[in-house]
Structure 1
Amino acid sequence: MNSLSPEIAPQVDCILVVDDLSDNSFLLQTVLENEGYRVEVANSGQSALEKITAHPPELVLLDVMMPEMNGFEVTRQIRQNPHLPFIPILLVTGYSSLMPAEGFDAGADGFIRKPIDFENLLYQIEMILQPSHLINLATSEHI
């Protein structure tokens, strides 16, 4: 048989990083790729929506403060599109006065505050993307 098992060809999770500042995107992309994730980058809300529609990622890291279309509006549009699968969204914000309820009302799954604590970011990403891997790991330890 010529089929590959998941152990031989593991799926690499794709994360879409959305930020209008290229330095921020580059930093996040570098950190995430070093952790083994595949990373796509969009520099605007509209570009993000186009990329998500064409190839939905497993997670979106979405800057709140962007020109033309902010992160809340992008989140709402993703959630209102019945043709998209559920995609976890973490909003990235530099706002200190931002109320989490605003983001949750828009449909976000969580927040990352700037300056970014990368250990916390990676922990949140792992908890969102890897729950089945953690279950498999726990099960295999008892065998």
Structure 2
Amino acid sequence: MIPEEDRGPAWLSDYGSIEADIQQMEDFAKGLTAEVADGYAPHANQVADAMAVDLPVALPQFQELGSFFKRHNAIKNVTATNTLNFGTGTGQAADAASKISQEYRSSDAFAHATVKDVQAAFAYTEKGPVTLDEEG
């Protein structure tokens, strides 16, 4: 019997099973890793350098401009963080897809990845991605 946390929502109950193409998942992971390494990583430092420059402080008499500069710098910093974290997050997604495809490549047709397996593959701790062995 399938555990409750691995069952889909009631409105999806008549859709049947969902099948994953393990080879496609592996190809996706390899392609995503290559795209980040070849298309993103070479430009990440350029983006970081461009966003590292803060706008100047406005004259105290021009409060609206000062507020704009302050807000602009705050948003720029969030954008820079998100841009730089893109490579890390995308790498984690590729690693999770690769790990899932490796672990289920030799499974028989009736075996399936549980929701917990997939969540564990995408989990991240301070020491790096969590392996399924660490999660139980």
Could you say whether these structures have the same fold, taking a TM-score greater than 0.5 normalized by the shorter chain as the test?
no
Structure ranking higher on relative contact order (CA contacts 8 Å, 6+ apart): 2
Richer in strand (by share)? 1
Q: Decide which structure has the larger Cα Rg and report it.
A: 2
TM-score normalised over the length of structure 1: 0.24
TM-score normalised over the length of structure 2: 0.25
